[in-house]
Amino acid sequence: MFSQDLPQFGLISMNVFKEFISLKFFFGRIVGFTTQGLLMTLLLVSFSGCTNVDIEKAFNGDLRPGQANKIIGEYCQSCHIHKNFDPPLHVSQVRNLYNRPAFKRARECRSCHYIEKKWIHNQHERKTRMPEDVNRGKFNKFERKELSRKRRG
């Protein structure tokens, strides 16, 4: 008699209650939350964990010159073309090809080399300020910025 009156009072029936507390209900919820959490973690890692902040800082001039040259040299040597590359020797030899003061007195790799971030693939594209382009004044803006930076210290 009492169990027949339960639905009349808006209470849940015993079968619904058993289903509610069953392991299937809880495991279904846990698996759903776990899957969502895993997907969110993978998404965050794919957008933030794959960038190399040190390389970007080195090319932006945010590190000391010696440390920046070391990081940039290792980055360049990671490419199969520059595997046997000697950064200090390269800098001293290449300076003579440039006529502009900021490049003629350069001691950092980033004076002639830079990277462009490709956000779609989360990669960097390596670029070079070639002597012919620099000597024609193609990089005047960069040159002025570097000269003012060197004057400040």
* pLDDT tens for each residue of 109-139: 999 999 998 888 778 888 999 999 999 999 9
pLDDT (tens digit per residue) in 70-102: 999 888 888 777 778 788 888 888 999 999 988
The single-letter DSSP state of residue 63 is: S
37 and 59 together in one domain:
no
46 C-beta neighbours (distance < 10 Å), count: 10
- CA distances from residue 9 to 4, 5, 6, 18, 110 in whole angstroms, order as listed: 10, 7, 6, 19, 77
Across the chain, mean pLDDT equals 77
Cα gap 139→125, rounded to integer Å: 18
Domain end, chosen from 33, 49, 65, is at 49
Above 60 in pLDDT, residue 3?
no
Q: What is the pLDDT of residue 52?
A: 75
31 shares its domain with 97: no
The verdict on 107 and 74 lying in the same domain is: yes
Query: At 79, is the secondary structure helix, strand, or coil?
Result: coil
pLDDT (0 to 100) of residue 26 = 58
Residue 126: exposed, middle, or buried by beta-carbon count in 10 A (0-12, 13-18, 19+)? middle
What pLDDT, on a 0 to 100 scale, did the predictor assign at position 49? 43
Structure confidence at residue 18 (pLDDT)? 64
- pLDDT of 108 higher than 70: yes
Domain that holds residue 139: 53-152
Residues 41 and 61 in one domain: no
In this structure, are 31 and 63 located in the same domain?
no
Instruction: Give the number of other Cβ atoms within 10 Å of residue 73's Cβ.
Output: 19
